[in-house]
Chain A
Amino acid sequence: DAGVIQSPRHEVTEMGQEVTLRCKPISGHNSLFWYRQTMMRGLELLIYFNNNVPIDDSGMPEDRFSAKMPNASFSTLKIQPSEPRDSAVYFCASRPVGGRASDEQFFGPGTRLTVL
């Protein structure tokens, strides 16, 4: 298996532009998580999905952020409009069918976003 795939790996954009980050979870996994990692705040959970349905989006910082999971093999995290403080590494993770709290989460390599 190729693991969790994220694209792009690096994104540089200007303030005010729309940014879309993409994630393909491991085949057969039905839980998907979006995290943000910054020096100041560490690793934060933004939102997670079970069976393509958003379960908890309490970590989404504001209305500029939105996430979708149209099917079991694809998810997007969109920032519109982007701001310099959104600069961070964004990770996607997935978990096997069953969704047990004891199960490992499998992380993608991350997207490093820089907003100028």
Chain B
Amino acid sequence: AQSVTQLDSQVPVFEEAPVELRCNYSSSVSVYLFWYVQYPNQGLQLLLKYLSGSTLVKGINGFEAEFNKSQTSFHLRKPSVHISDTAEYFCAVSGLKAAGNKLTFGGGTRVLVKP
């Protein structure tokens, strides 16, 4: 079984400032890691995912995340946010095997970008 903890429920940030959203996971097996974004009144969209290889993953809209196996973390960052980045962000994990191919989501982090 896996679990995901997003340490911040809300993150206010000024436009053009950097932002980091923290995600820690727990699993007895190797996992794939994902970040999804949910804009107001919409479904979730994939931002990026880590499968293997380089621990720094680049996604859409200027976001990137770094996988740290020793700390079981997968923090999301953006060096300069826009008003349009106001949304809720979800970290998720999935087991590698077919039997564990369902996603387990964290509680979400709501990002509010202020002008």
Contact = CB atoms under 8 A, between A and B. Distances in A.
Which size class do A's interface residues fall under?
20 to 34
Given A4-B43, A91-B43, A108-B43, A42 B107 contact: yes
Interface in B29-63: 32, 34, 36, 41-46, 49, 51
Given A43-B108, A104-B46, A109-B42, A99 B98 contact: yes
B49 A104 contact: yes
B94 interface: yes
Nearest to A31: B101
B15 to A, nearest CB: 27
Nearest to B31: A101
B102 A33 contact: yes
Contacts of A105: 44, 46, 103
A25 interface: no
Contacts of A93: 43-44
Interface string B73-94: 0000000000000000010001
A48 B43 contact: no
Nearest to A41: B107
A100 B94 CA distance: 10
B67 interface: no
Contact of A56 (B102, B105, B108): B102
B97 interface: yes
B96 A101 contact: yes
Contacts of B98: 99-101
Contacts of A102: 32, 49, 51, 94
Interface of A: 4, 31, 33, 42-43, 45, 48, 56, 91, 93, 99-102, 104-105, 107-110
